[in-house]
Chains A and B, each alone.
Chain A
């Protein structure tokens, strides 16, 4: 059994033969296969077969009717990476996901630190902050679309008044970008909050007390004890936020901007959908899918290399 999970180099607990096998097992020739069958059937039909199809399509060019396809090596990828629109989309996505992660993580961490300091009403505070987790990204999009509406939105009004900006997300790309960042980050704050508050509560009180006796102020204690001890949580949450902003924000973009104006909010997952499903460019869309797939495989492996035993809840 030894290195049953070569990708993760045998370091994780779940690849060791000791933990993988129960000493006491049931013996049956057919039952284990029957039990695992539904899982395998769904996985093969809806995950692996389409993934392989995607790989094949990405190195083929097919005519619009899908009748004939020719093998064209990596031509689709070359086209993709020389397409200024695609490169622009990469840039937009990076900016978008960095902004979403920064806004939602810093807000989540700040509120969690405050909540952890508050002696009373911790449970109430948690209840008051946890529910946005359940709001669909698309609905968050609608709420913020109203708040940032150029004529009726109250936040838009505040921006116009306080910063003297001529706010118009329908016409100006940077405004539209700000809009999808707000909608995506807002929804994610409560997710980050839940992890941070758990991480904060796991820090031994004795450490904080020892530092306090040594004369460290609350701020100093935060930077020298809390932050370093919280760093695994911080790292995990960052990875999850990046995955979220890359993939799950499709609904936000679809509700709010449809990638516009002028492609200013056309993040990668939205572009795959638009090119493949609306534009019917099979090869190009498949190549984009493969790029995204490589990306998420990279992030997942990275996460498992550095974060122990945490599993993502993307579904």
Chain B
């Protein structure tokens, strides 16, 4: 600091360490609990010396919470969302910035406004949409009384219903979440800071639009992509409401939701050691991603338009 303040410095470190311990406490405590046998977990207060039951508990959680399938589902969902969001918005931003066409402002505004429509505010209609992707077409079909028309042509009653459900499928878990106002906005902001001369030069050398995109824009966007990979992977992995709505088949549930079955009910034996072992396992992948890609992640989170 500026001047010497030895007492304040000591307090600084004391508070800092206390702060770190308080923030870490729930997880440290969970780690200890996850290593204990059940008799120790329900002892009050719980012993703070780790036991040797960690792998036993992990194994129990793995079987009880169906974690093998669920972790795979979570992984597919999170990667799908990350990949989908980033590619869809890279292409979208490229189209908005590097082409001049009539509707581009409208397109940009309409994509941007989805920021104000999180899944939580349109739960039921979005579910209905996922239950039948052809719903709008069916709507149109009914409005135009096409059933009557078809029946008239065929000479007997024909009832046509259009149905295409994406409930309980990876498509359903991923597709509705890959439109991203934030990603599109960030890439757009970034593309706008790229010097005009690069594009001029590329054109002069005879590069087509897609060559320019692949050879120049993509490599330049590497840092931004890395930051968004972290943010969107964590976002995808931690999704709760949407998978809860559209998956009824236990084989399609995600790991975070599956943990529900591990929480001991009131009249159950209090298998908290198993529940916490499972929770630790499920929270590990996004934490690792954040820690290993910390530099890009912080940069992307804090100053999105650099």
Residues of A whose CB lies within 8 Å of any CB of B are 1, 4-5, 14, 19-28, 31-33, 35-36, 38-40, 42-43, 45-51, 53-54, 57, 107, 110-111, 114-115, 117-119, 125-140, 142-147, 149, 151-152, 154, 157, 170, 186, 189-190, 194-195, 198, 208-209, 212, 218, 247, 250-251, 254-255, 269, 272-273, 276-277, 282, 285-286, 289-290, 292-293, 296-297, 300, 309-315
Q: Report the bound CA distance from A19 to B200 in whole Å.
A: 17
The 5 closest A-B pairs by CB, nearest first: A50-B125, A32-B99, A35-B95, A136-B238, A251-B240
Query: Considering residues B120, B127, B199, which has the most beta carbons from chain A within 10 angstroms of its beta carbon?
Result: B120
CB-based contact A276/B124 at 8 Å: yes
Query: Considering residues B23, B89, B256, B270, which has the most beta carbons from chain A within 10 angstroms of its beta carbon?
Result: B23
A-B contact pairs, 7 of them (CB 8 A): A24-B199, A54-B122, A111-B23, A134-B289, A255-B259, A277-B124, A293-B122
B contact residues around A312 at 8 Å (CB) = 115, 182
CB-based contact A297/B118 at 8 Å: no
Q: Report the bound CA distance from A283 to B23 in whole Å.
A: 42
Query: Considering residues B110, B179, B294, which has the most beta carbons from chain A within 10 angstroms of its beta carbon?
Result: B179
Q: Report the bound CA distance from A33 to B91 in whole Å.
A: 10
Least distance between A183 CB and chain B CB atoms (Å): 9
Contact digits for B96-129, partner A, Cβ 8 Å, 1 yes 0 no: 1111110011010111001111101111111111
CB-based contact A129/B114 at 8 Å: no
B163 at the A interface (CB under 8 A):
no
**Is chain A's binding surface mostly helix, strand, loop or mixed?**
helix
CB-based contact B92/A35 at 8 Å: yes
B12 at the A interface (CB under 8 A):
yes
A contact residues around B238 at 8 Å (CB) = 134-138, 251
Contact digits for B26-63, partner A, Cβ 8 Å, 1 yes 0 no: 11011001000000011011100000000000000000
Chain B, range 238-295, C-beta contacts under 8 Å to A: 238, 240-241, 244-245, 256-257, 259-260, 263, 266, 270, 272, 275-276, 279, 282-283, 286-287, 289-291, 294
Q: Report the bound CA distance from A208 to B2 in whole Å.
A: 8
CB-based contact A114/B305 at 8 Å: no
CB-based contact B98/A25 at 8 Å: yes
Of A23, A27, A286, the residue contacting B196 (CB under 8 A) is A23
Least distance between A284 CB and chain B CB atoms (Å): 11
CB-based contact A27/B117 at 8 Å: no
B19 at the A interface (CB under 8 A):
yes
Q: Report the bound CA distance from A48 to B111 in whole Å.
A: 10
A contact residues around B257 at 8 Å (CB) = 138
Of A107, A254, A297, the residue contacting B116 (CB under 8 A) is A297
Q: Report the bound CA distance from A241 to B203 in whole Å.
A: 45
CB-based contact B30/A114 at 8 Å: no
